[in-house]
Structure 1
Amino acid sequence: MPTKKQIVTVLLDRHGRTFARELGVELAKNTPAPLYRLLCLALLTSAPLSAEAAMRACKALGKAGWTTPAKMADTTWEERVKVLNEHGYARYDEKTARQLEALTDHLQNRYAGDLRQLRAEADGDVKKARRLLKEFKGIGGVGADIFLREAQACWHEFQPFADKMALKSSAKLKLGDDASALAKRVEARDFPRLVAALVRTQLAKDHQQIIDWASKA
């Protein structure tokens, strides 16, 4: 059996890319547009579709130019349905198009289009942050956790944060079953990459491969 350090090294090497980075948004600057796109990704990923379909659809929204609340608010329901339908959301396009509108309206009305105001209101309380995120149409517990898992890269007060999928994957690899235990495995700057890698491993179901690769490292 490889050491935990070897497993973590392989995890980061094979899967150590955050979903925000895959989407093409830079969270480090903590600016409104990337945070909004992350919220949209959390919404799309909450649907009972594959993570690949959610990412593909969210990239399509960005390619269409709908990267801010103001730009999304200028779209029609029909336009949103068309883009979603053409990029993997054929069964959920109409519902998700409505949810995107409601989510955007709530963000503009409640936080002036800036999720950093939600951060300030939560004031480092992860339970309050989850509750506020769940006030967005289409964002449930899973969606809130997805958002916080990624946002901790720039909202450092919520680190270490790991959602259920990441912890389930971590337990399979004997790395610990809570975020605090996981945080001891890497430096703080690499923690968001580690939890993303664990989620990707869970999605790929390649835990045994990770162990085998680590054994050969």
Structure 2
Amino acid sequence: MEFQILPVTGFQQNCTLLWCARTRRAAIVDPGGEPDRIEALLSQLELEPERILLTHGHLDHVGASAELAQRLAIPIEGPHPDDAFLFQSLPEQCRMFGFPPVAVFEPDRWLQHGDRIAVGDESLEVIHCPGHTPGHIVFHQAESQLAQVGDVLFRGSIGRTDFPRGNHRQLLDSIRHRLFPLGDAVRFIPGHGPMSTFGKERRSNPFVGG
């Protein structure tokens, strides 16, 4: 599986295009804003988008989802239904963070732990990783040793848990018991900032020790 990261909005949120090299069919992960730039990159890479995937319901990860889904006639899938309350609060999130208005919407499909998502000939595993939000999920592609982790884990840091329904203990459990067992060699794309590997974070991240 191939990928390209496109930071969007003032939050520099990592919207990611994941695609199957053979079919050029792609998933758009966490399109938080700037739909024109996302569409332009799809065109530049000659990709055929087939779905939008969301790791969680925070505005900077979902803000352009409904507009892109309508433009491209593709479904929105994820996150876990425990994040439904965040989708209902999108107008409030926009006012709070000074974003252009985003109307309330729901994904076409909520995702559960263990679900699998096809992207062309490739397959992504859905891993429920609550803590940053209760319905946060991670997308893992075993053959490529690649994971899209949203705001669960960062290079040298972890996700915030001071937002509504965040839980610090759950977040650490998700990292230690659901992500790190996938293997030290797995590269991950965080919701913000540079990539890292689970092995590097397991050994050196000061927030996940012990």
Question: What TM-score does the superposition give when structure 2 sets the normalisation length?
Answer: 0.31
Say which structure is richer in helix: 1
Larger Rg: 1
Question: What TM-score does the superposition give when structure 1 sets the normalisation length?
Answer: 0.31
Say which structure is richer in strand: 2
